[in-house]
Amino acid sequence: MASMLQPQIILLKEGTDTSQGKAQVVSNINACTAVADTVRTTLGPCGMDKLIHDDKGGSTISNDGATIMRLLDIIHPAAKILVDIAKSQDSEVGDGTTTVVLLAAEFLKEAKPYIEDGVHPHSLIRSYRTAGHLAIEKVKELAVSIEGKSLEEKKSLLAKCAATTLSSKLIGGEKEFFAPMVVDAVLAIGNDDRLNLIGIKKVPGGTMRDSFLVNGVAFKKTFSYAGFEQQPKKFLNPKILLLNIELELKSEKENAEIRLSDPMQYQSIVDAEWNIIYDKLDKCVKSGAKIVLSRLAIGDLATQYFADRDIFCAGRVAEEDLQRVAAATGGTVQTSVNNVVDEVLGSCEVFEEKQVGNERFNIFSGCPSGQTATIVLRGGADQFIEEAERSLHDAIMIVRRAVKNSTVVPGGGAIDMEVSKYLRQHARTIAGKSQFFVNSFAKALEVIPRQLCDNAGFDATDVLNKLRQKHASGEGANYGVDILTGGIADSLANFVWEPAVVKINAINAATEAACLILSVDETVKNPKSESAQGDAAASAMGGRGRGGAAMRGRGGRGMRRR
Ligand SMILES: Nc1ncnc2c1ncn2[C@@H]1O[C@H](COP(=O)(O)OP(=O)(O)OP(=O)(O)O)[C@@H](O)[C@H]1O
Ligand SMILES: [Mg+2]
C-alpha cells in the first residue's frame, strides 16, 4: 500500500527508450564491428570495391573508406562516430580512411571481452590513451625524413607516396602514369593552400592513358553565340581580360514608361542602349586584350564585335574556373571596363581551343605565376571516372601532406607491426591489469597487415608469424606484407611509402573514437526521433531497452534528455 501513496515522478516522455549499462557498451561495440566489416574488404591493393545504390537510382563504385561510409547512411548513434572519424581523416589527410575505421573497430573488439568480464571502461580508456600516445611517439621516431633532397629526387620520392595511395584504387594499374602527374600538379601550386587551384576535369571517352596534365587552366567551352566560329582559336602570348559584367544588350524593363514630346527623340533612346554596349566593347578592345572572359553572359552582338577584331571571348565561365585563370595568368577580375590598365590583364604563353573527346576545351598553358594545374581525366564509364577522380584526390592530398611534413613511414603493415612490437615490449614493464589492455591495443594494430593478407587471399596467420619473427629479431623494422608473393618484404626498400601523418592521424582518431564509444553507457531516445528514424533505428539500437513505463518509477535520476 505504501508504494501507492508515493507520488510518481515522470522524468522522460511517454514512449522514451533508454538503454544502459554494460549491455549498452557491448551493443555499441557490436554495431561498430558490423560497420567495419563492410569496409574491411576494401583495404589494400587487393581490396575489393563496393557498388552502392542510392534511392535516386544513382550508383557509385568506390574503394574509398570515407565515400563508402558516407553513402552507407548509417543511423546507429554509436556507429556514426566511425563515419565521422572517416570523414575527418578524409578532410585532414585525404587517405587512410579505411585504416582509421578498421583500427577503431579493432580497438573496440579487443576491449569487448574485458567489458563483458566486468572491467570498468575507464580502466580500458586510460590504458588505451597511454598506448595511443606511445604509439604516435613511436611512429614519429620511426619516420624517415625526405627533407634536403634535390628537386628531382624529391619528385621521385613523392611519386612513390602517391603510387602507394593509388595502388589500392581502381586506377592502381596505371599508378606509374598518374603518380608523376599528381606530383607535378601539387608542386605547380607551390605553397598555396587552396586545393581548388588543382582542377580535375572529367571527359568521358578514350582510355585512362589519354588523361593529361595542363600546366595552367583548362575548362570546357562555354555557351557561345553566332560569330563565335569566326573568332581565332589560338594565340601566342595573348593578354587576357577577366570580367564580371554582362556584355549584352539589355531588353527594356517591363512596364517601363517613357513620355516623349517629340517623336524624333525616340531614336535617341534606342541609340543610348546601343551606345552603352558599344562603349563597353570598345574599351575591352582598347585594353589590348586578345581574350575576354566573363563570369556573366557575353551576347551575340559582343561575340560578333570581338570576332571582327580577332578577339576570342567566352561568357558564363564558372566562378571557380575564372578564379583559377586569374591565379594562373596573374590577371584580376574586373567589375567594370572603365580604366582597364595593363596590370589587371593576365597573360599566358599559349591559349588554344582544343578538342578533347567529344568536348571542346579552352586551354591556357605556360602561365607566368604557374600556380595552377588541371588534370583532364579520361576514361570509359561515368562511375569509373568519378572513382578515378576520388582516387586522384586522395593522392593529391597525400603528396601535399608529404611536401609539408616530409616524413614517410613504410606501408604494407610494416609500421603497424613495429609499433605493435614496441607496445608489447612496453606492456611487460607495466604492473597490474593495464598490462593486458596495452597488449590488446598492440594486438589490435595487427589488423592492418592481417587484413591486407586476407584481402589478397594469403594465409594471414602464416604471414603474421613471419612478420612478428622478423620484427622481433630487431632488424626487420621495415618489413611488411609483400602483396605480390604473399610473403614478407622490406616496404621501405620496395617504395611502399606513406606519409607519417596518415598513420599518426589514423591512430590518434581511432583511439579517440574507441575511448569515446567505450565511455558511453547509456543511450536515450525520445519518441520523436524514433518515429523520424523509423523502425530500422529501433532494431539497430539493440542493448537493453526499457520502456517509458519502467522509467517513470525511477525517481529523480538525471535530467530529461533528448
Ligand atoms: N604495394 C603495396 N604493398 C603492400 N601494401 C600496400 C601496397 N600499397 C598500399 N599498401 C597498403 O594498403 C593500405 C592502404 O589501403 P587503402 O588505400 O585501401 O586504404 P586506406 O588508405 O586506409 O583508405 P582509403 O584509401 O580508402 O582512404 C596501407 O596500409 C598501405 O600500406
Ligand atoms: Mg588509400
Q: How confident is the model at residue 175 (pLDDT cuts 50, 70, 90)?
A: confident
Q: How confident is the model at residue 544 (pLDDT cuts 50, 70, 90)?
A: very low
Whether the pLDDT of residue 246 is over 50: the answer is yes
How much is the mean pLDDT over the chain? 84
Whether the pLDDT of residue 533 is over 60: the answer is no
Tell the residue number behind the cell numbers 609500421, with chain if given. 415
Rounded distance from Cα 52 to ligand 2 centre (Å): 19
For residues 530-540, give the mean pLDDT. 52
- Rg of the chain over CA atoms, in angstroms? 31
Share above pLDDT 90 across residues of the chain, in percent, rounded to a whole number: 27
Q: Which of 262, 284, 410 is closest to 339 using CA atoms?
A: 284
Best residue for ligand 1 mutational test, from 42, 43, 63, 168 (most atoms within 8 Å of Cβ): 168
Asked if 97 contacts 64 with a C-beta cutoff of 8 angstroms, the reply is yes
Q: Alpha-carbon distance 561 to 523, whole Å? A: 10
Strand-strand pairing, 373-379 and 212-214: antiparallel
Residues with Cβ within 8 Å of 50's Cβ and at least 6 positions away in sequence, in order, are 38, 39, 42, 61, 62, 63, 68
| Residue 231: per-residue pLDDT | 85
Q: Alpha-carbon distance 28 to 79, whole Å? A: 7
Asked if 460 contacts 454 with a C-beta cutoff of 8 angstroms, the reply is yes
Pairwise pLDDT comparison (254 vs 415), residue with the higher score: 415
Asked if 413 contacts 481 with a C-beta cutoff of 8 angstroms, the reply is yes
Q: Which of 221, 219, 276 is closest to 245 using CA atoms?
A: 276
Q: How confident is the model at residue 425 (pLDDT cuts 50, 70, 90)?
A: very high
Q: Which of 560, 520, 505 is closest to 95 using CA atoms?
A: 505
Query: What are the phi and psi torsion angles at 371 (to 5°)?
Result: -90, 25
For Cα atoms 237, 238, 240, give the angle at the middle one, nearest 5 degrees.
135
Q: Give the amino acid at 299.
A: G
Query: If you take atom 5 of ligand 1, which residue's CA is the nearest one?
Result: 412
CB atoms inside a 10 Å sphere around CB 150: 7
Residues with Cβ within 8 Å of 208's Cβ and at least 6 positions away in sequence, in order, are 171, 174, 177, 377, 378, 379, 388
For Cα atoms 366, 367, 371, give the angle at the middle one, nearest 5 degrees.
120
Pairwise pLDDT comparison (36 vs 528), residue with the higher score: 36
Scored b (16 or more CB within 10 A) or e, 90-109 reads bebbbbbbbbbbbbbbbbbb
Q: Which of 297, 219, 213 is closest to 251 using CA atoms?
A: 297
* Residue 410, all three cell numbers: 613504410
Residue 394 bears catalytic tag: yes
Whether the pLDDT of residue 55 is over 70: the answer is yes
Q: Which of 211, 405, 219, 437 is closest to 323 using CA atoms?
A: 219
For residues 342-366, give the mean pLDDT. 87
Residue 192 bears catalytic tag: no
Best residue for ligand 1 mutational test, from 46, 99, 394 (most atoms within 8 Å of Cβ): 99
Pairwise pLDDT comparison (111 vs 258), residue with the higher score: 111
DSSP characters over 402-433: HHHH-EEEETTTHHHHHHHHHHHHHHHT--ST
Note the pLDDT tens digit of each residue in 277-327: 899 899 889 888 899 999 998 888 889 999 999 999 999 999 888 988 888
Rounded distance from Cα 85 to ligand 2 centre (Å): 15
Write down how long the chain is: 562
The pTM score is 0.78
Tell the residue number behind the cell numbers 572517416, with chain if given. 86
Residue 38 bears catalytic tag: no
Residue 18 bears catalytic tag: no
Asked if 39 contacts 536 with a C-beta cutoff of 8 angstroms, the reply is no
Pairwise pLDDT comparison (516 vs 23), residue with the higher score: 516
Asked if 85 contacts 104 with a C-beta cutoff of 8 angstroms, the reply is yes
Ligand 1 atom closest to Cα of 86? Answer: 27
Q: How far is CA 136 from CA 78, 99, 239, 420, 445, in A?
A: 25, 15, 52, 11, 12
Rounded distance from Cα 159 to ligand 2 centre (Å): 14
Whether the pLDDT of residue 550 is over 60: the answer is no
Asked if 512 contacts 81 with a C-beta cutoff of 8 angstroms, the reply is no
Which ligand neighbours the alpha carbon of 91 most closely? 1
| Residue 154: per-residue pLDDT | 83
Asked if 59 contacts 53 with a C-beta cutoff of 8 angstroms, the reply is yes
Q: How confident is the model at residue 84 (pLDDT cuts 50, 70, 90)?
A: very high
CB atoms inside a 10 Å sphere around CB 184: 17
